[in-house]
Amino acid sequence: MTDGALRVAIVGCGNISRRHAEAYANTGRTELVGTADVVEEKARTLAGKYGATPYANVTELLAAEDPDLVSVTTPPGSHAEIAIEILAAGKSVLLEKPPVLSLAEMDAVAKAEQESAGSVFVVFQHRHGSGALRAADLLGRGALGSPLVAVCETLWFRPRSYFDPEWRGTWIGEGGGPTLGHGIHQIDLLLHLLGPWRTITATAVRLDRPVEFEDVSTASVIFESGAVATVINSLLSPRELSRIRIDTTGGTLEVNHVYGYSDQDWTFHPVPDAAKAAGLGLDPGVRTADDPADGEPGGADPWTASAGEDLPSNHDAQLGHLVDDLLAGRTHETTLAGTRPTMEFVTALYASAITGKPIDRADLTPEHPFYRALHGDLPKDELAKSFQPG
C-alpha cells in the first residue's frame, strides 16, 4: 500500500464500475483493495486489471478487507441494503446514481449513516465540472443576475434491447424510468444552480418502450425564488441532447452536451443593450447578422471573466474531488443529505404525474403515499392506466 493512499473497493462490477475504477486509478492516490459481484467472473476481471482481490459479495469483501471507501455500482434496487451493510462496518460509501429508489430508503440509509463512523456520498458528477462550479458561484452571488426562467432537457435514446436485462424496465430493479435513472443528472444540476423548488406539476407517459413505468416525462416547476422551469426526460430521442438553459435578469446561461460537458459547451449571452432591445421583434421572421442566435457570446461579462482551467464533468472530476477531500479530512459536498432535494423532486414528479395533481415539496412527509415507493404502492392496473397517453 502506498503511503497516504485511500483504500477503496467496488461492489457491483458491471459497466459503470469501470468508470469508478479508472477514476480512482487516475487520481494516483488510491489503492483498489477489493471488488465484489454476484457474477464472480465480473469481479475477477475488474480486480485483475487493478491488482485487487475479487469476492462473491459485499459481506465477504468487508470481512477480508479494510477499505476507507466503497463504491456501490450495483443495480439501483440493491443500493440501500448494500449501503446500510457497509455503514454498519464503519466504512464510507459512494452510491452511483440514482442513490436509492425512494425517500424511505434514503432516510433508512441516512439513519445508518448517523450510527456509523462512515459517511455517504452520491455520484452526481455534473456538479463537479468547472462549468458548473463557475455557474454555481456566479449565480449564487448574483453576478449573472437573478434567475427567472429555466429549461432542463434530457433527450436520450435507448433501444428496446436496452431493457433485455431482467432488472431493467421494472419498478423493483430500476425504481423508475428516465426521470429517475437518466434525467436525474440534469435535474440535480438544475437544483444545484437554482436552489430549493416549491411545486411540481407533471405528466409521465409510456409511448413505446417495454417498461412498467414512463419512457417520457415532463414537468412544470416553481422554485422558492419565484423562478419557473420546464423539465423533460425522454428515452425516445434519436438526436441525443442534455441541456440546461437559465434566463436571468442579466442574460442567458446555457449548457448543451450529452453525457458530460466541457467549458466549451457552456455559453452566456448578456442582456442586449437598450438600443438593440428596442428593435427586437420589429421585423418578425427576419434574421440579421447581429442576431444573438447567430453571434458568439463575448465581451467582458462575468461569465467570460471567470474562465479558468477546463475540468470536464465526468467521474474523474467528482472522484478526484472526493479522494482529495477524504485524504485532507474535508467534507465532500455531494453528500446523501445534500442530494435529498433531488430525490424529493423525482418523487414529486412521479406523484404528480400519477395522481394528476400538483405536488408541493412540503407535502413529502413519511405519511405521503409516494414516500415509500415512486409508484405509490398503487395496483398494477391502475399504474398502467396512469402512464397511458391521452
Here the CATH number for the domain that contains residue 32 is: 3.40.50.720
Number of domains the chain is built from:
2
Looking at residue 167, the DSSP 8-state letter turns out to be T
Q: Which of 88-92, 274-278, 376-380, 386-390 has the highest mean pLDDT?
A: 88-92
| Paired strand residues for 197 | 223
For 236, the grid coordinates are 425516445
Residues 218 and 367 in one domain: yes
Q: Which residue has the cell 470536464?
A: 312
Residue 232 confidence (pLDDT) above 90: yes
Residues 97 and 231 in one domain: no
Residue whose C-alpha is closest to residue 92's, from 332, 328, 341, 384: 332
CATH code of the domain in which 350 resides: 3.30.360.10
Residues 186 and 106 in one domain: no
- What integer pLDDT is reported at residue 300 of this predicted model? 75
Which residues neighbour 334 within 8 Å (Cβ) at sequence distance 6 or greater? 121, 122, 123, 124, 127, 128, 318, 322
Which residues neighbour 242 within 8 Å (Cβ) at sequence distance 6 or greater? 153, 154, 155, 156, 185, 186, 255, 256, 257, 258, 259, 261
| Paired strand residues for 55 | 36
pLDDT in tens, 240-252: 999 999 999 999 9
Give the pTM: 0.94
Residues 88 and 159 in one domain: no
Query: Which domain range does residue 105 map to?
Result: 6-122
Residues 111 and 159 in one domain: no
**130-135-138-144 Cα dihedral, nearest 10 degrees:** 140
Residues 260 and 354 in one domain: yes
- What integer pLDDT is reported at residue 195 of this predicted model? 97
| 339 part of a folded domain | no
In whole angstroms, what is the distance from residue 255 CA to residue 264 CA?
9
Q: Which residue has the cell 422554485?
A: 223
Query: If DSSP codes are grouped into helix, strand and coil, which group holds residue 242?
Result: strand
Residue with the larger pLDDT of the pair 101 and 293: 101
| 309 part of a folded domain | no
Residues 179 and 112 in one domain: no
- What integer pLDDT is reported at residue 281 of this predicted model? 85
Check: CB of residue 315 under 8 Å from CB of residue 123. Answer: yes
In terms of residues, how long is the chain? 390
**Residue 174 burial by CB count (10 A; 0-12/13-18/19+): exposed, middle or buried?**
buried
| 352 part of a folded domain | yes
Give the phi and the psi of residue 183 in degrees, each rounded to 5.
-65, -15
Mean pLDDT of the chain: 95
Residues 114 and 148 in one domain: no
- What integer pLDDT is reported at residue 2 of this predicted model? 42
| 375 part of a folded domain | yes
pLDDT in tens, 22-43: 999 999 999 999 999 999 999 9
Residues 107 and 34 in one domain: yes
Residue 4 confidence (pLDDT) above 90: no
Give the phi and the psi of residue 55 in degrees, each rounded to 5.
-140, 160
pLDDT band at 287 (very low <50, low <70, confident <90, very high): low
- What integer pLDDT is reported at residue 295 of this predicted model? 40
Residues 69 and 211 in one domain: no
